[in-house]
Amino acid sequence: MKNNDFDKLRERCAVFGVSINDGSAAELTYNALLTLQHRGQEGAGMAVINNKTIICKKDVGLVTEIFDTDCINSMQSDISVGHCLCSPVSDVNDDIQPSVTEYLTGRIAAVLNGRITNVMSLRQELMTYGLTFAGTSDGEVLSKLLAYYCMINESVLEGVKYAASVLEGCFSMLVMSTGKENNKLIAVRDSSGFRPFCIGKNDRGIAVASESCAFDICGFDFIRDVKPGEVIQIEDGRITYEEIVLTNKIENTGLCAFECVYLARPDSFVDNISVYEARVNMGRILAREYKIDADVVCGVPDSGLESALGYSLESGIPLVAGFMRNRYVGRSFIYPTQSLRENAVKLKLNPLKLNVENRRIILVDDTIVRGTSTAKVVRALKAAGAVEVHMLVSSPPIKFVCKFGCVEEMEENLIANIMSLDEIRQKIGADSLNYISITGLKQAFAKCAIPQCMQCFCAQ
């Protein structure tokens, strides 16, 4: 790939790791990756430790396409890490994680959810030491950086801590190691807490995941979130080290607001806030900010449904199902090309004519990024007989590219940058259009334990 490929926004993914005492790490990781598949559909991978050797399986595709029963049975282990990939480039083979690196006294496997903004300078530094790279992913650079400092410091924990201190950007990462030291799992969250990261526990061991919904499926109790800047070491199913060691290098950042608006599953808790409750709150606040005379409220599946419920509860206007969703089509936002996104929208949603015909509809969705998908949804409702469609959005207008990878379009492609509110309304074919305010979104997140980053909505 060309060097300018590193400038692309990338790495909005899911990670999971577990240290357990009964050999079921691979099975648990498989179930967790299935649960976290909404964060990345283009590739997945898993690594386990077996007799001081790291076995890694990864490929393009969905989790169910990559791993079968025989594969999982062959990877029985007490410790594992896994990853689901979302990449904006069409050729994702080099970006699939885990990234495995062998060094003089050990081996590590690393998985990353985030974007390392100084990855190019780190890569160039490592190349001066004679290291080579197969791909362009942050994960591969991270893995080799970690291995180098683990060797230099003669300690995995100290090596990971030092490597983390030179990283810039956002990251929730897991490092699994084997060698002359005990097998261990180390979790690190960046000092802003930009990506979600949490810890679960049961009587057999400890797990760490991008979202708490993975614990529900795998039989772990949610313990707490990994704190911003914290490093946690897990050995033999026990936490043996936990300390905040990283200082904040980036001002005006915190948990990405887009997590609760769109990315996270509604059954997850992120930094002390229920994603479901936050989205219902967004709908309630929309109802206070915009009183609309209409017959029914509909949500755009899936992440607009909770906000639609909130609007209905606050306004008293009945909530109805506006669409039948095809469960075999993935999330259109995270397809790598516009043509794939447009085709996915056509296949994914079909209006329920019985509920929308001859009715004035309040339609609630989470975001408008490019406007293409929204226009198709509005047209579909009107073709099914809706008299009016009033569009409400539970996030503010997206005007700025996120350097950490949440919004992938260039700023000139973001519809809120190139059109006025009324021009957007006309383009999508709605009878009215309104967005939640920045103040309203902050109110919806009031219970969150850390600040929120809203730089894609406003210059902070």
Mind telling me the catalytic residues? 13
Q: Are 444 and 437 in contact (CB under 8 A)?
A: no
Angle at 225 between CA 178 and CA 44, to 5 degrees: 55
DSSP string, 163-183: HHHH--EEEEEEEEEEESSPP
Beta-carbon neighbour count of residue 1 at 10 Å? 11
Q: Find, among 138, 145, 195, the residue nearest to 7 by Cα.
A: 138
Other beta carbons within 10 Å of 429: 16
For residue 249, give both structure tokens: 């290098």
* Residue 176 near residue 17 (C-beta atoms within 8 A): yes
User: Which strand (E) or helix (H) includes residue 393?
Assistant: strand 388-393
The DSSP string of 396-457 is ----S--TTSS--S-GGG-HHHHS-HHHHHHHHT-SEEEE--HHHHHHHTTT-SS-EE-TTT
Whether 430 and 391 have beta carbons less than 8 Å apart is answered as yes
Inter-CA distances, 248 with 115, 163, 192, 228, Å: 15, 15, 6, 9
The β-bridge partners of 350 are 324
Run of H or E residues at 44: strand 43-50
C-alpha 273/C-alpha 88 separation (Å) is 29
If phi > 0 it is left, if psi is from -120 to 50 it is alpha, else beta; for residue 359 that is beta
Q: How many other C-beta atoms are found inside a 10 Å radius of the C-beta of residue 170? A: 28
Half-sphere exposure of residue 313, counting CA atoms within 13 Å on the CB side?
A: 14
In DSSP terms, 46 is beta-bridged to: 57, 82
d(CA 308, CA 73): 43
Helix, strand, coil content of the chain in percent (nearest 5): 35, 30, 35
